[in-house]
């Protein structure tokens, strides 16, 4: 167990239902780390098809439900992503967490905001039907891909770079933060972990849990860190992370889903039985 107790842990883009989802590793991180607040920063699901959820995906949701128990003293926040649309109102009741379009909070005198980031992606917003067809094709590629899904993951990275999502979302997020007088703003969506600073405002992207090296963010008195999970061991690196201009930022800042359906059915049944105990979630637009 990591001795540090973080104020906030942020992860995004788990894409439950996708064969590239690293839900097992994400669950492991949540179990090993200690934190007062967990922000699920959007795209927790890949699409509306629950039939694609595997045993490990249901385990992830089950652990989120456990964390939301008031006795644990952890605030669990779910910020809606573009892939979550249509699911959050239902799943928030089952998992027992509040769902926000955007979440704001203060910590150590600094104003923080968390928003998924698709709001700053004009391509995704204006081409929802094309985006849906692309998702279906991507699922098919995952099914035909090799064991560790190298082709699907490569396509995901190339798509982000081709559409120039990282600089678009970063620029939009920084402008959004300035409008709301925030000191730090956090997004997901691009699957590209990064940090940028402009005029004293800091933008962070939490990356994704569909790549070979998933990432997440922690916030504490020492500052903001981007952590990397390499699949064998969870490590915090002080190495470089490139921004969209090719320069680098320190990672320390301011200092397979092959299960049989029978196994999945038992996991679903166990989760549903537990979820029936409570349905006290709320749907809100902005946090404190």
Domains with residue ranges and CATH for the chain? 5-284 (3.60.21.10)
Task: Supply 125's token pair.
Answer: 């917003």
Q: Are 29 and 229 in contact (CB under 8 A)?
A: yes
Q: With bands split at pLDDT 50, 70 and 90, how would you rate the model's confidence at 71?
A: very high
Pairing of strands 215-220, 5-11: antiparallel
Average of per-residue pLDDT values in the chain: 76
Query: Which residue's structure tokens are 């064969």?
Result: 19
Q: pTM above 0.85?
A: no
Summarize pLDDT for 147-167 with one digit per residue, the tens.
Answer: 555 554 455 455 544 445 788
Q: Under 8 Å CB-to-CB from 237, ≥6 apart: which residues?
A: 227, 228, 251
How distant is the alpha carbon of residue 139 from its chain centre?
19
Q: What radius of gyration, in Å, describes the C-alpha atoms of the chain?
A: 18
The CA-based diameter of the chain, rounded to the nearest angstrom, is: 54
Q: With bands split at pLDDT 50, 70 and 90, how would you rate the model's confidence at 25?
A: very high
Task: Supply 49's token pair.
Answer: 């098809």
Summarize pLDDT for 113-140 with one digit per residue, the tens.
Answer: 999 999 998 755 444 443 544 444 544 4
Summarize pLDDT for 176-223 with one digit per residue, the tens.
Answer: 999 999 999 999 999 999 999 999 999 999 999 988 789 999 999 999
User: With left for phi above 0 and alpha for psi between -120 and 50, is residue 264 left, alpha or beta?
Assistant: alpha
């Amino acid at each position: 167990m990591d001795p540090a107790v973080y104020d906030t842990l942020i992860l995004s883009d788990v894409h439950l239902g996708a064969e590239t989802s690293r839900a097992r590793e994400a669950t492991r991180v949540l179990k090993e780390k200690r934190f007062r607040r967990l922000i699920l920063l959007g795209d927790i699901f890949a699409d509306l098809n629950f039939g694609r959820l595997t045993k490990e995906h249901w385990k992830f949701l089950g652990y989120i439900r456990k964390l939301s128990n008031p006795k644990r003293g952890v605030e669990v926040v779910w910020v809606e992503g573009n892939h979550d649309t249509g699911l959050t109102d239902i799943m928030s009741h089952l998992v027992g967490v509040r769902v926000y379009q955007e979440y704001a909070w203060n910590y150590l005198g600094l104003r923080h905001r968390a928003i998924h980031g698709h709001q700053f992606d004009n391509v995704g917003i204006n081409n929802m039907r094309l985006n849906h067809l692309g998702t279906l094709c991507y699922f098919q590629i995952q099914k035909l891909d090799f064991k560790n899904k190298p082709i699907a993951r490569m396509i995901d990275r190339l798509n982000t770079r081709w559409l120039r999502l990282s600089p678009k979302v970063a620029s939009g997020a920084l402008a959004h933060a300035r409008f709301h007088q925030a000191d730090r703003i956090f997004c997901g969506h691009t699957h590209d972990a990064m940090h940028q600073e402009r005029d004293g405002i800091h933008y962070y992207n939490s990356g994704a849990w569909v790549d070979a090296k998933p990432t997440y963010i922690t916030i504490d008195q020492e500052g903001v860190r981007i952590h990397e999970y390499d699949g064998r061991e969870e490590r915090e690196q002080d190495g470089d992370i490139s921004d969209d201009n090719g320069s680098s930022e320190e990672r320390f800042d301011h200092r397979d889903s092959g299960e049989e359906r029978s196994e999945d059915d038992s996991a679903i049944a166990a989760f549903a039985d537990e979820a029936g105990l409570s349905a006290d979630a709320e749907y809100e637009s902005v946090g404190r």
